[in-house]
Amino acid sequence: MSSQTHSAEEDRLHATPAGAEARVVVSYLVAPEAEQYIPIMEVLESSITDLTPHEVGVHLAASGIQLEESVIEARLTQLQEWGAASAHVDTSRIFRFADLLAKNWRYTATPTGRHVQRFYRTALAGTRTVREIPLKSLARVVDAAETLAGTRTPEPIPIAELIQRLFVSHDDLDAALVGAEDSLAGLVDRFDLNKASAAELKTLLVSYATHVAAELERGAARAYQALEILRPQFAELATSAVWASDARDLIERGALVASRGGRQEDWDGLLAWFDPVTGRSARFALRLVRALPGMHVNLRRLHSSSGTATSRSRALALAKACMHPTLGPAVLLAALGDHSWRKLHGEAEDFEPARTRPWREGPRIEVPELLRITGRAGARGRPPADRDDTSARDAVAEKRRRRATEHAEAVQEVLHAAPGAQLSERAARVALASLTAAARGRAINGRRTAIRDGLACTLFYLGSETGALRAPTWRVLTPGRVPVFHLPGTLPQVPQGRMAPEPDDSAATLEAGGEK
């Protein structure tokens, strides 16, 4: 048995290929499945014995992480390839020849893998990840805009591809800025931050203000200049984006909405986004400036309350020391001695001659006016007033009235049109909805009747005649049946011709096609 299996030490030596660089081991920290690799490495690093995949799964389940055993085996195999883990055959589980062919592996972390996991636990885990602003997306936006404007050497790239690159990169940049503003908003509008939160706010401001704000301002200015040159061609660029789409026929008919760049409104919004005065980048820079007073107020408050510069802070430090379970009485006696009333009485920081004022009435920190204005609507200020949405309500009501008016006009057009006459696009769609509902209804004495959106339709079975519903670009035929449209609750006018009895197994069919 020993001649057919390798020793554990030999398996560990062969786990990492010769010449492999040690920095490959950190690959599991940045892999897409890092949320699974890191807990598995934590289990291997904290175990003093080699573990099977099943035992690794048990430890993960104990910590609240549920992974299938097949997934754990795949992750352990990948960790072995990266050199973060090593494996050897478990000879205690081999009882027959078939067991030699099975994967009876036991895994443990390599020395390099242990160092990497400990570094992650002590230096990386628990630290807040700063929301990265993708400056590469900004560079792609500037490149595409300047290429379209002709201010850069043209490249053999189709216009549709440049438009797609422009708007996709802009979406990435906009989402990152929104996330960064959300992170700042959760910290800026508060005046009671602890040390960790204040340090976090300082880190965010330093990270964004040192490099990102300047690059964002320069890139937004260049993109705005290029878009200003392209402003007269916004309609042509939108048309080019639609024509390059595979679904341009559906977009032109209104069945699909064009992606970003296929409407002139998208280009106008893009120009407003990069405006150097009122655009998103300018508002982000202004948000950074407005966050500075809040950061300074919190840092100043923490500095004044944590040190021993005031009588109150010294008294609090003494009280905290006296709370020690064993050394508290000794600290109290050593600090006060036999003249406690002299030791506890101190002189106020503002040199008040009459009496010692309470700390709540003592010196205060002046809050800047801008910060007071911003904080009045925050969590610690007065609740904000209800938003005035009167204009939005009026706009919605106006749209509803306009849709109702257009629908009523379309119904009247259908009722007054001759049988088989061509209708407008909206009227034809209203009639088609009623006709489809009637075709799905039950036949009674050669008739099928249905009501849809205030318009009734009755299909008369005539056997040989074929009805038609015509629109400017399409038409629908009803073989063997003639549709008659009327108001709900009124009797339809029977078409000329002899009505034939409809067979029981006959189904109403509609034939649709394009209008020549």
Same domain, 280 and 170: yes
Q: What is the mean pLDDT of residues 112-118?
A: 87
HSE, side-chain direction, 13 A CA sphere, residue 301: 17
Summarize pLDDT for 432-448 with one digit per residue, the tens.
Answer: 999 999 888 888 887 88
Q: For 465-474, what is the mean pLDDT?
A: 88
- What single-letter DSSP state applies at residue 210? I
pTM of the model: 0.37
Res 17 pLDDT > 70: no
Nearest to 461 by CA among 418, 420, 421, 508: 508
Asked whether residue 400 is assigned to any structural domain, the reply reads no
Mean of the pLDDT values across residues 419-423? 89
The region of weakest confidence among 113-122, 254-263, 324-333, 350-359 is 350-359
pLDDT at position 6, please? 43
Last residue of a domain, one of 69, 101, 124: 124
363 vs 18: CA distance, rounded Å: 69
Residue 350 has pLDDT above 60, yes or no: no
Q: Assess if residue 377 is contained within a domain.
A: no
Specify whether 118 is located in the same domain as 183.
Answer: no
- Residue 1 within any structural domain of the chain: no
Phi-psi sector, 388: left (phi>0), alpha (psi -120 to 50), beta: beta
**Residue 260 forms part of a structural domain:** yes
Interval 312-321 mean pLDDT: 77
Whether residue 146 contacts residue 152, with contact meaning beta carbons closer than 8 Å, is answered with yes
pLDDT at 260 over 90: no
CA dihedral sign, ordered 99, 105, 106, 111: positive
pLDDT average, residue stretch 111-133:
73
Question: Over 60: is that where the pLDDT of 472 sits?
Answer: yes
Encoding tokens for residue 428? 């034809």
Q: Is the residue at 329 inside a domain? A: no
Q: Give the relative orientation of helices 69-82 and 53-62 as an angle to the nearest 10 degrees.
A: 110
pLDDT tens, position by position, 164-174: 788 888 888 88
The answer on pLDDT for 9 being more than 50 is no
Residues 45 and 169 in one domain: no
Query: Are 143 and 265 in the same domain?
Result: yes
Classify residue 227: in a domain, yes or no: yes
pLDDT at 424: 92
Last residue in a domain, options 304, 320, 342: 304
Question: What does the DSSP 8-state code read for residue 96?
Answer: S
Statement: residue 97 has pLDDT above 70: no
* 47: CB partners within 8 A, 6+ apart: 59, 108
Residue 279 and residue 162 in one domain: yes
The DSSP secondary structure of 429-478, one letter per residue, reads HHHHHHHHHHHHS--BTTEEEEEETTEEEEEEEEEEEEEEEE-SSEEEEE
Q: What is d(CA 349, CA 315) in angstroms, rounded to the nearest whole number?
A: 14
- Confidence (pLDDT) at 375: 58
Q: Which has more pLDDT, 88 or 304? A: 88
Same-domain status, 171 and 255: yes
Shared domain check, 240 and 144: yes
* Full strand arrangement of the beta sheet holding 511-514: 447-452, 455-470, 474-486, 511-514
Q: Give the pLDDT band of residue 508 (cuts 50, 70, 90).
A: low
Distance CA 72, CA 78 (A): 10
Q: Which residue would you say has higher pLDDT here, 239 or 223?
A: 223
| Residue 407, pLDDT above cutoff 90 | yes
Token digits of residue 217: 């301002």
Percentage of the chain modeled with pLDDT above 90: 10
Dist CA 205 CA 116 (whole Å): 29
Element (H, E) at 288: helix 280-306
- pLDDT-derived band of residue 380, with 50, 70 and 90 as boundaries? low
pLDDT of residue 433: 92
CA nearest to 170, candidates 143, 147, 148, 150: 143
Asked if 102 and 146 sit in the same domain, the reply is no
Q: Other CB atoms closer than 10 Å to residue 339's CB: what's the count? A: 9
On the question of pLDDT at 309 being above 60, the answer is: no
Note the pLDDT of residue 411: 93
Residues 148 and 285 in one domain: yes
List the one residue out of 386, 384, 389 whose CA is nearest residue 189. 384
> What is the chain's alpha carbon radius of gyration, rounded to the nearest angstrom?
38
Tell me how far CA of residue 472 lies from CA of 407, 421, 475, in angstroms: 18, 11, 8
- The answer to whether residue 322 sits within a structural domain is no
Q: What is the mean pLDDT of residues 392-414?
A: 92
- Give ∠ CA 130-133-139 in degrees, rounded to 5: 155
Residue 40 to residue 197: CA distance in whole angstroms: 30
Cβ(422)–Cβ(472) below 8 Å: yes
Max mean pLDDT among 85-99, 145-159, 331-345, 383-397 falls in 383-397
Residue 412 lies in a domain: no
Q: Is residue 372 scored above 70 in pLDDT? A: no
Question: In the structure encoding, which two tokens stand for residue 246, read together?
Answer: 């595979």
**Number of Cβ within a 10 Å radius of residue 373:** 11
pLDDT mean across residues, the chain = 76
Given this model, what pLDDT does residue 119 score? 85
Query: Using the 8-state DSSP alphabet, how is residue 158 labeled?
Result: -
> Number of helices and strands (H, E) in the chain?
21, 6
Based on the domain organization, do 159 and 285 belong to the same domain? Answer: yes
Residue position matching structure tokens 């795949």: 74
**Residue 456 near residue 464 (C-beta atoms within 8 A):** no
Res 86 pLDDT > 50: yes
Last residue of a domain, one of 124, 157, 177: 124
pLDDT band with cut points at 50, 70 and 90 for residue 499: low
Does pLDDT of 340 surpass 90? no
**103 and 141 share a domain?**
no
Q: Is 269 helix (H, G, I), strand (E, B) or coil?
A: helix
Domain of residue 446, residue span: 418-514
Residue 1 pLDDT > 50, yes or no? Answer: no
On the question of pLDDT at 128 being above 80, the answer is no
Q: Are 201 and 226 members of one domain?
A: yes
Among 280, 346, 272, residue whose Cα is nearest residue 308: 346
Banded model confidence at residue 182, pLDDT cuts 50, 70, 90: confident
Q: How many domains does the chain have?
A: 3
What sign for the dihedral angle of Cα 141, 147, 153, 157? positive
